[in-house]
Structure 1
Amino acid sequence: MRPTPPDERVLARRRLVGEQIRRVRKAHALTQHDVCGRSGIDIATYSRIEQGHSSPLLDTLIRIADAIGVDLAELVRR
């Protein structure tokens, strides 16, 4: 059985989280490649997360936060 696709509210929140990750990364003067090198996340996967096209696992969000040098909460704030 296929999982139910997320509703628009969830998709919108996913995009907001991606935008917040991008803002935090840029505020720390890091490129996507910098974060990927520090976290071990594939650049294509990371790009999809920032664009809101992919829903990252909690472990992945922790790795991103650690790579940027911020608390996890900073990545998911509105």
Structure 2
Amino acid sequence: MSFIVFLILGALAGWLAGNIMKGRGFGLLGNIIVGIVGSVLGGFLFSALGLQAFGFIGSLIMATVGAVVLLFLISLIKR
């Protein structure tokens, strides 16, 4: 069950980050991939800053922040 929640969290975080950064999502699979990679990056960033995320909403915020940073870094590389 936690794997399904992890995928849902990744999809939501990827969709939110896509809407924040470029105004639309990336499709279901793209959102999941961006959200999962973003959650790893967000976990690293939050721990480096000494922050912690609790619960589903906290995890969603952390993953979304990480996904936004990921999309920002990708946009810098593409230029």
Tell me the TM-score range normalised by the shorter chain.
Answer: 0.3 to 0.5
Q: TM-score with structure 2 length normalisation? A: 0.33
More helix by share: 2
